[in-house]
Chain A
Amino acid sequence: MKHTLAVNVENRPGVLTRIAGLFARRGYNIDSLAVGKTDNPLISRMTIVVDGDDRVIEQVSKQLYKLIDVIKLTDLTTEEYVDREMILIKVNADPAIRGEIMQIVDIFRARIVDIGKNTVIIEATGDESKINAIESALRPFGIKEVVRTGRIAMSRGLKNKNYKS
């Protein structure tokens, strides 16, 4: 089963290597890894998607927690969360078929962010299945280039346990 881990780490040099290296040498498979700063410039947030049974995920979590740069780790899979991925797709788009592409873009609530002579670049965000769907919907036109961010995720609502609605 795929698990989505939210990992807050110290924003220090080498931290990505330490995390990625840990996965590599212990044989855990990373599906995706997205990193960026948080509101606190000293802390970065990583969203790691990893595949494995409960024992594997428990080991992954414990080993990650052991790293001195790791401040907090949450397995979002066990709670309500939203996740997003972003994709940029460059597809063949002769002027004759641009209308058709624009329809698909509308259906997926995506956007065209660049038009070239014979290509367009489309930007879309959504969960993994939506991104997969738009990618396959555009494939018949001839995809020139694809780049995806990997998943980022956040738990829903207030995490404060004393909060009563």
Chain B
Amino acid sequence: MIDTLATHYNYYAVVALLGIGLYVLVESNNLVKKVIGMNVFQTGIFMFVITTGYVDGGVPPVLGEGGEVYVSPLPHVLILTAIVVGVALTAVALALIVRIYSEYGTLDEEVLQRLYHD
């Protein structure tokens, strides 16, 4: 138990981030907090992919740097792309929130639901 905790702590961090992110996304009434929850959820996945690329004692895959074990650069490159996508999504979400606030004057989901269905 202690062993797995000590060697697999990154996966526990990933699970915690996914859980916290989804919880905030579902449970929070504030739209901005929902977007933050979405970001935390995505970050959990980013963390997962990056840690899968980690090799104990590995060095960056640069020729001439020496070293026996190289770390795969692929997960980092993938996540760099995914982060860009995440930033774009956040920007669109915040733009929508600005419009919702200027139209309805609230960011509270419950109040919004009432106004929305009228």
Binding between chains A and B: no
Which residues does B use to contact A, with CB under 8 Å? none
